Structure 1
């Protein structure tokens, strides 16, 4: 059924393929005349239909490849190459279908973002006649300012609100880009789209759904997509001059010889295949080469923009950094070793879903420490986890939580961006595990490569605090930092960043609007950032930053190959037309000769498959 839908969605492709098959069967059956008439009638109908569209385009001030296509179809019919005419029709129809498919994918309504958008809210009201409290689930659009809402563990905050509970922990990475959970106290504002921690909390609605942060992100994405100007196809720029030159040469040959056949003999060599085929083949080869490098580029137009990029901006968390806390240090207390503290803590953290727990477990494994069996494990919301490991009572959590058990827990002095997990063994303070979100090892190389290869301006856009942003920027070689930004701020900065075209690299829901608004949006999609991936033009499938430079290098090579292929094809065509003006190339021979030109340009265009990766 899926394939049937594609067949019905693009009837011109289906019909032309059937006509081509019919003509082939008629030719094989020894019926050339019916074959010629079937092909001629069909191609003539397509020519008329295309001419109607051309007139509409000309009235709108646009003249593109349709001029060359009609010229090619008329020329091939005039010299009896009706099979070639059918192939041109099929190529045109197939190209339009592929362009439409790519456009639909690039303009999807961000289903992942919309699906994640809160649909209901738990409104708490006083029961009538002293019956206590009543909780009612209502559509999020019906929440009014002042309503008391219950947010359960791991649920998304439905609207911007004020926290009524004493304290709570929220994952705001989709809004600010900060990978570490944040602590909020009573009276603090909590933004919609934040994910609640492991304890149910109450909040008071501060804004309606339509005015809340998460819905504004969705609106920004749509507005940015609608406002982005379309990119003119590469080959369209050559259509008018090449067509004009071809008609002048053909007309001159007719005028000088007085023979209208001379017009056809020259014009048949003006087939637009170098434009219709060479550039798309080069771009498809570039897309294929990029995919092998772990990069999905959504269209040939994106390749052209990417090849000409002159300024770039990067998100911090998950883009320039790993997006997950990594071990910085283990500081054991007297009587314990670093490996002992880390192994026991990681063993206790096996049953925790906290973001720091995963980092502690990963750090232990990377050090070659095996996780020991744990029993009687339980987690106290927002505070920590306790478990029995080989008969020893292990507690990992906040300093106050550990201090309540041990009577002492030294408060570590942490640098910006760091977090600490405190460890107790048998109710005795055992040490501290320090974690931080470090820059990716290839980030500095990517930034340096971009500067060395023509990107004159590189900036950082992040929702993180300024001190952390500045430290990461210094580590990767970026000197222009814009910190503590909301999604709307990023869009505004991206719009004003010069020179153009401008590339934005980011991940997560919070980056979706700026990715959609940028000339080239690049999403780090290795860990499933589907909303950002839908809004972006380029998606990096590997959990690394180096493919961003690879994408630019591949795009530049692809564009050079495409332009060269077009130049070679047009140059050979014009040279052959000049020869044909003398009458030494008959129409049939000219058509066959032009096919050799097409083959040469296509073979050259396939050089894009060998595009080099960036030396990062």
Structure 2
């Protein structure tokens, strides 16, 4: 059945094989005129169809790479090499099947993520029951926030939720890269895509399907697999020179020998399949390998930009640091109690998405404080939050923002690595909540690796206070710090960075504008930073900056592989054309040999699936300078 499906899927191959067999039978039966007319009619129709496709490509701004194949088919017909002309047609139509095979192999790890995407969820009809009675299956897209779900042993968690049962174990390797199962207690959040352990558990959905972690990853993967932009650019760079060289060699062979057959014999070895197929296969392989490492790249353009990376800008909180600050001190003023100040600040921070907000809320919970609901609340991105709580107007955020509503705000002393959330109540400065966010253990090694591997400019762009930013920068080895920035200022500074391309690495919602504006935006996506992930070109699914090393290493290896595959195909073709110019390779043989050249280049392009060892240590040992092109 599989051969039959292949014949139906690729009708051009089927038709060409049938016509080729008929021509061979007619020639064997001493009917050369009939064989000539059948071959000429079929190849002529194929030439017209190819020319129509070339015109469409040119109208879209792409160089028509099939011009060599068209000239070769016409030339072989002109010198009565009918079998050779049909072999060229077979080779070109077979290129589609060969590309599909290679693309399926290259996409393997990308499609593995898509195949695992959960389709159904088990909704508990009676959430108040302690058992699992009344469970109904529903499409995962129909799950709404608040539904109680049953997740059976070994099943994939369908949506993000909060665990209702005590003591669950989950395999989160597809999300975070953590190879060992992790334990979750009652009340802990469990992300979609995690695989449940050995006991059934209940959870309450906190996000719908479209907003859950695994579905966002699937959407990123689908977007990555659709992009093929740089392949066109790579092919266009080589198309015109290769076409010119091939025609010159063919013309020279004809001129020197006086035999027009030499022209056809040379051109049958000059088909453009290495340019058309090898490059896209290499880029798809690179995207697939990156996905396996927990790095989602949104298309081949990103791969090429990563390979040529020259400048990097980092956000601080949640990027160079862990993003989970711990409480250092509560410093009230005007006779306010420390717990009262923390309670008001944490109650207002319920309505903020900033990473510090979670830390303030967690600190209040650790002290047993019950948060108050707000009558109204408004967050000013990157600045802070204002809320009406228990009849009082509470403002929490950066000193400049708080000072705009409480002019008596004064700076609180901070130690190395510390930051403060300033608080105003009813227009008066009420104090500060001091937090400390340690640098990630891998941050300094990543910065050092980038400097050692061709990145000329490394800087920090942060909205936090200068003292805090400079303290973290010293810890990780960054000399240039731009602090207390608004989103627009980050965008401007990123645009001014030189040399290009520039990578911006961030994690928060406030990073989305600068991620979108940079040549390469990288989001720390392991914690579900949706807005940043949507705006970024690269999303690190593993909660570690070490993924940057994987991303750059894969990008460089992929581009090297694509360029080498192209040069391999061009080199072999030109070498064989020089031999054919002497008359040593007949036209039919040359057409068959060229198919072997195509196969060799595609197999080489698949090397992008493997490449040098991944990881910070391995990459540092194996990395080579990025390939340069004029």
Q: Give the structure-1-normalised TM-score.
A: 0.57
2:90 aligned with 1:83? yes
The CA distance in 1 between the partners of 2:18 and 2:442, in whole Å, is 60
Alignment of 1:279 with 2:271, yes or no, is no
Question: Out of 16, 20, 25, which is 2:12 matched to?
Answer: 20
Q: Residue 511 of structure 1: CA displacement?
A: 2.4
Contact 2:47 2:70 in 1 (8 A): no
Aligned counterparts of 1:43 and 1:599: Cα–Cα separation in 2:
23
Deviation at 1:295, TM superposition (A): 0.8
SS at match of 2:460: strand
Q: Match of 1:313? A: 313
Q: Quick check: 1:274–1:602 contact (8 Å CA) kept in 2?
A: yes
Label 1:91 to 1:45 Cα distance change in 2 as closer, same or farther (>3 A): farther
Is 1:446 aligned to 2:454, yes or no?
Answer: no
Residue 463 of structure 1 corresponds to which residue in structure 2? 463
Cα deviation 1:155-176 (Å, max 9, x = unaligned): xxxxxxxxxxxxxxxxxxxxxx
- Residue of structure 2 in register with 1:532 after alignment: 532
Q: Say if 1:43 and 1:86, in contact at 8 Å, map to a contact too.
A: no
Superposed CA deviations along residues 226-276 of structure 1, whole A, max 9, x for unmatched, are xxx999722322111111111111111222233322212111111122222
Tell me: CA distance 1:512–1:608, structure 2 relative to 1, closer, same or farther (3 Å): same
CA contact (8 A) 1:313 1:505 kept: yes
> Is 1:67–1:239's contact at 8 Å kept on the other side of the alignment?
no
Deviation at 1:377, TM superposition (A): 5.4
- Correspondence for 1:213: none
How far 1:91 moved relative to its partner? 7.8
Cα distance in 2, alignment partners of residues 542 and 551 from structure 1: 12
Match of 2:312, SS?
A: strand
**What whole-Å deviation, never above 9, does each CA across 1:570-614 have from its counterpart, x for those lacking one?**
111111111111112112211221122222222222221222325
- Tell me the distance in 1 between the aligned counterparts of 2:91 and 2:102: 16
Q: Compute the displacement of 1:478 (Å).
A: 0.8
SS at match of 1:234: helix
How far apart, CA to CA, are the structure 2 residues paired with 1:65 and 1:283?
A: 19
1: CA distance, partners of 2:511 / 2:370: 37
Checking the alignment, whether the CA contact within 8 Å between 1:43 and 1:89 is kept in structure 2 is no
Partner in structure 2 of residue 44 of structure 1: 47
Report deviation, 1:526: 2.0
Q: Aligned-pair distance for 1:491?
A: 2.0
**Unaligned runs of at least 5 residues, structure 2:** 1-5, 25-34, 78-83, 104-228, 332-338, 375-385, 390-395, 397-410, 423-431, 618-630
Aligned to 2:511: 511
Question: What is the rounded CA distance, in whole Å, between the counterparts of 2:521 and 2:582 in structure 1?
Answer: 52
In structure 1, the residue matched to 2:616 is 615
- Whole-angstrom CA distance in 2 between matches of 1:74 and 1:324: 68
Whole-angstrom distance in 2 between the partners of 1:441 and 1:362: 23
Distance 2:69 2:317 in 1: 48
Q: State yes or no: 1:550 paired with 2:557.
A: no
Counterparts of 1:237 and 1:571 in 2: how far apart (Å)?
A: 16
Contact residue 512 and residue 532 of structure 1 kept, 8 A = yes
TM-score where L is the length of structure 2: 0.56
Q: Which moved more, 1:476-485 or 1:487-496?
A: 487-496
Q: Which string of whole-angstrom CA distances, capped at 9 and with x for unpartnered residues, describes residues 344-386 of structure 1?
A: x9xx99xx89977965898999xxxxx99x9x95646699x9x
SS at match of 1:500: coil
Q: Given the superposition, is the C-alpha separation of residues 18 and 562 from structure 1 closer, same or farther in structure 2, using an over 3 Å criterion?
A: closer
1:45 to partner: Cα distance: 3.5
What is the CA-CA distance between 1:438 and the residue it aligns to? 2.2
> Matches of residues 172-571 of structure 1 in structure 2 within 5 Å?
233-326=233-326, 359=359, 379=372, 414-415=414-415, 417-418=418-419, 435-571=435-571
Question: Structure 1 residues 29 and 74, CA, compared in 2 at 3 Å: closer, same or farther?
Answer: closer
Aligned counterparts of 1:462 and 1:420: Cα–Cα separation in 2: 15
- In 2, Cα distance between equivalents of 1:230 and 1:93: 19
CA shift in 2, pair 1:319/1:73, >3 Å: farther
Question: Cα distance 1:287–1:328, how it changes in 2: closer, same or farther (>3 A)?
Answer: farther
Q: Is 2:230–2:301's contact at 8 Å kept on the other side of the alignment?
A: no
Give the 3-state SS of the residue equivalent to 1:312 in structure 2: strand
Tell me the SS of whatever aligns to 1:80.
helix
